[in-house]
Amino acid sequence: MTGYNSQNDVASSNGNQAGATGHKSTEYIAQENHTYPYEMIQEIADFLVKGSGIRPKIGIICGSGLGSLADLIQNPKVFEYSKIPNFPVSTVEGHAGKLVVGCLEGVNVMAMQGRFHYYEGYPLAKCSMPVRVMKLCGVEYLFATNAAGGINPKYAVGDIMLMHDHVNMLGFAGNSPLQGPNDPRFGPRFPALVNSYNKDLINKAIDISKAMGIESSVHVGVYSCLGGPTYETIAELRALRMMGVDAVGMSTVHEVITARHCDMKVFAFSLITNKCATEYSEKKDEEANHDEVMAVAKNKQKACCEMVSRLVAEIQKSL
């Protein structure tokens, strides 16, 4: 263990910036990119597995206002982020900052009540670091959920969009959670991202939506993540729509990239918490706001919880 605290400023960390050759060490480059060394991720995973006595198979990331997904977990062992070594803290309303480990539908699971966003000031590698922790805890399936604005005109507030692809806008700008030295123990230097969203799980979720009688409000679509914290301009929303984006948010994509890099199966959905205006208007009620996002998420948490429980039960059958 290096003793490197990822929350420290790089400039104030150790002096191992350049070796005798004048080249930066791999460790220094990792620190510069705020990537967490494998050993540090392993330590966090060991802490959680030892503390809970559980090796989870499914990892769940609760989106804004969707923290109740973690309340489904039986015999929960709850870890406050602030008490987990080297873990960041949640700073956004609707993200409690707790990791819950326990059992759901007979499967060991681990749920993040609170994710990390780029706009909070965390580099992408840090935002998605918990996905690697999940992996080293034993997680094979990632369920990522989010609140998002609906750009597809057919989507209504309260609908669910099962993600089947994404447009990585932060990636277009040269930002990736996999930037920096690659540790092959996690995955390859150049991972492919086609088929990132598991088709079998999407189909199962569609069947579940039929069984729940909500299929008319469930869609399959493309999500895009912008850096936030501003909501989008009309011109940006129009551009996203032209690119084939159905829903827009400020998360999830970097988590999915990190999960696919380490070969997890991914299922993700967006709860459409607001409709994105693509026409210019003076109307205040067409402006997105976080209170509305939270209120819609609260209203729809029951359906989201049921969808997740039933999908976990389906996975349980195949274990």
Ligand X SMILES: O=P(O)(O)O[C@@H]1C[C@H](O)[C@@H](CO)O1
State yes or no: is 254 an active-site residue.
Answer: no
182 residue type, one letter: N
> Which position among 33, 128, 251, 270 bears the catalytic label?
251
> Which position among 40, 148, 250, 264 bears the catalytic label?
250
Answer yes or no: is 270 a known binding residue: no
State yes or no: is 34 an active-site residue.
Answer: no
Residue 149 contact among ligand X, ligand HPA, none, beta carbon within 5 to 8 Å by kind: ligand HPA
> Which position among 25, 38, 86, 290 bears the catalytic label?
290
Tokens found for residue 66: 């969707």
Q: Report cis status (omega within 30 of 0) of the bond before 188.
A: no
Q: 219: which strand partners? A: 161
Q: Which is nearer to ligand HPA, 136 or 240 (CB)?
A: 240
| Minimum distance, C-beta of residue 288 to ligand HPA, in the bound complex (Å) | 4
| Minimum distance, C-beta of residue 86 to ligand X, in the bound complex (Å) | 21
Phi, psi of 317 (to 5 degrees): -65, -30
Q: Which is nearer to ligand X, 63 or 221 (CB)?
A: 63
CB neighbours (10 Å) of residue 179? 15
Q: Which is nearer to ligand HPA, 84 or 226 (CB)?
A: 226
> Which position among 70, 96, 129, 147 bears the catalytic label?
147
Burial grade of 313 (CB within 10 A; 0-12, 13-18, 19 or more): middle
> Which position among 223, 259, 274, 307 bears the catalytic label?
274
| Minimum distance, C-beta of residue 170 to ligand X, in the bound complex (Å) | 13
Q: Which is nearer to ligand X, 112 or 125 (CB)?
A: 112
Answer yes or no: is 219 a known binding residue: no
| Minimum distance, C-beta of residue 248 to ligand HPA, in the bound complex (Å) | 5
Question: Could you give the CA distance from residue 236 to residue 232 in angstroms, rounded to a whole number?
Answer: 6
State yes or no: is 290 an active-site residue.
Answer: yes
Q: Which is nearer to ligand HPA, 57 or 166 (CB)?
A: 166
Q: What is the dihedral of CA 71, 63, 147, 211, to 10 degrees?
A: -50
Answer yes or no: is 241 a known binding residue: no
Question: Could you give the CA distance from residue 134 to residue 59 in angstroms, rounded to a whole number?
Answer: 6
Footprint of ligand HPA on this chain (CB under 6 A)?
147-149, 231-232, 248-250, 273-274, 276, 288, 293
Footprint of ligand X on this chain (CB under 6 A)?
63-64, 92, 115, 117, 146-147, 228, 249-251, 290, 293
- Rounded to a whole number of angstroms, the distance between the first and last alpha carbons of the chain is 35
Those residues with Cβ within 8 angstroms of residue 251's Cβ, 6 or more apart along the chain or in another chain: 63, 115, 117, 127, 144, 146, 225
State yes or no: is 120 an active-site residue.
Answer: yes
> Which position among 28, 33, 40, 95 bears the catalytic label?
95
Answer yes or no: is 310 a known binding residue: no
Element (H, E) at 172: helix 169-172
Answer yes or no: is 232 a known binding residue: yes
Those residues with Cβ within 8 angstroms of residue 88's Cβ, 6 or more apart along the chain or in another chain: 7, 81, 116, 122, 126, 129
Nearest residue to ligand HPA, scored by beta-carbon proximity? 149
Q: Are 255 and 197 in contact (CB under 8 A)?
A: no
State yes or no: is 147 an active-site residue.
Answer: yes
Q: Are 294 and 306 in contact (CB under 8 A)?
A: no
State yes or no: is 95 an active-site residue.
Answer: yes
Q: Which is nearer to ligand X, 92 or 134 (CB)?
A: 92
Q: Which residues are annotated as a binding site for phosphate?
A: 64, 95, 115-117, 147, 251
Q: Would you please indicate which residues are annotated as catalytic (active-site) residues?
A: 64, 95, 117, 119-120, 147, 250-251, 274, 290
Q: Which residues are annotated as a binding site for a purine D-ribonucleoside?
A: 232, 274
